[in-house]
Structure 1
Amino acid sequence: MKYTSLQLDALKEVINIGGGHAATSISKLVARKIEMDVPAVKILSYHELYQDILADNVEVHAVISGIVGEYGGIVLFVVADDAVAKLAELMLGSSSSDKAVKMSAVSELTNIISNSFLGAIGKLLEVQLQSSLPVIQDDYFGAVISSAYVALDQYDDQIMVIRNEFTYAKERLDASLFLIPETGVIDRIVKSLGI
């Protein structure tokens, strides 16, 4: 997997636009300012991924949506336990002790984030992209992320990690949005950008 620094910067800018639209959508929905960090676009081994991003044995809630349109892949929203309660409270306007209610709120939030994210990227690349209905999975981060890549027939030791993080009131939300494209999609995006 070889890409130039210019190509990676261009991909980062595409993801930045998509993530910015997603953060704006969340802010409008919850009537509070949600910000997005500069996105990460890195090529890492799984070992590096678990060191740099999140340990493989951390339990997470993952909301998985397929990408429907000219480009295929998965949008994966990974949320730690404490962030589920915070995001659900933002969505519902009050706290809830019911796990099903909290996860339903986070699932709906993910649906909005994914479609906003993909819509902005699709507009930039002049293609139609949207997400399928989300599926919730509770598991260890290592199991979630590796099964997502394997589902797309990506068995390489090196993977491209495309990730956005969000913050609320200067506090980092322990939630990350991953874009996991099908094999060949990144090459097509780079080509469409003329790089």
Structure 2
Amino acid sequence: MSPLPSDIQLDALREVANIGCGHAVSALARLVGGRTVNLSVPRAVLATASEVAGLLGGGDAPVVAAKLGMQGQLRGVLMLVLPQEDASALESLLLRRQDAPQEERESALAETANIVASACLSAIGSLTGWRLLPTVPVLVRGEAGPVVADAVTEAQGDKRMVVLETRFSSVGIPSVSGQVLLLLDRDSSKALIARLGV
């Protein structure tokens, strides 16, 4: 079994998350009409599926998640996760109306996730010299526990994995908050650490 990342290596990964998520949140701010979107200090943690669900407020918290795979030298899953109410608020902001049909709302949310993920991976690509692209987003609604468990299994199986996580919240009415999660499989986190030279 490969050794787990050290604290110094997790710090380096946290800085990658800071850069990637910073670009992601800037892209989101433009999409919601130039509002200020605040970003928390990203975390880089080693976690199992149930621990990742804990980061989202508990296994039974209702969420809407846009899930994207990664193409290129990194393998894993990138997720844009919002509490159900915040997802509805974001859909209304994106479409500039409250009464849009469900199909339009889902399409707007998926396209937003695509733009946010592309911005994040592009920034990480600039840092590493890798060409990284997201796959087509899949929208999932449900309780945080099962939603995250599926994504973790997709990325790593049932082992602990590197999770880069940050929270964002927009200023204004309605307020929209959520999280960006990067779930990296073990080989990818090792490759990224090697690329960063730590």
Same fold, judged at TM 0.5 (above): yes
Equivalence for 2:69: 66
Equivalence for 1:188: 191
**In structure 2, what is the Cα distance between the partners aligned to 1:77 and 1:112?**
11
Structure 2 stretches lacking a partner, 5+ long: none
Distance apart, 1:47 and its partner CA: 4.6
- Give 2:116's match in structure 1, choosing from 113, 129, 134: 113
1:32 aligned onto 2:35 = yes
SS in 1 for 2:176: strand
Equivalence for 1:101: 104
Query: How do 1:24-173 and structure 2 match up within 5 A?
Result: 24-30=26-32, 31-96=34-99, 98-156=101-159, 158-169=160-171, 173=176
Equivalence for 2:12: 10
Q: How many residues align?
A: 194
SS in 1 for 2:157: coil
Normalised by the length of structure 1, the TM-score is 0.90
SS in 2 for 1:120: helix
**1:66 corresponds to which letter in structure 2?**
G
The CA deviation string for residues 100-143 of structure 1, in whole angstroms up to 9 with x for no partner, is 32222111110100000000001101000010111111122111
**In structure 1, what is the Cα distance between the partners aligned to 2:176 and 2:43?**
16
1:179 aligned onto 2:185 = no
Equivalence for 2:21: 19
Structure 1 stretches lacking a partner, 5+ long: none
**In structure 1, what is the Cα distance between the partners aligned to 2:77 and 2:25?**
19
Normalised by the length of structure 2, the TM-score is 0.88
Distance 1:50 1:153, change over 3 A: closer
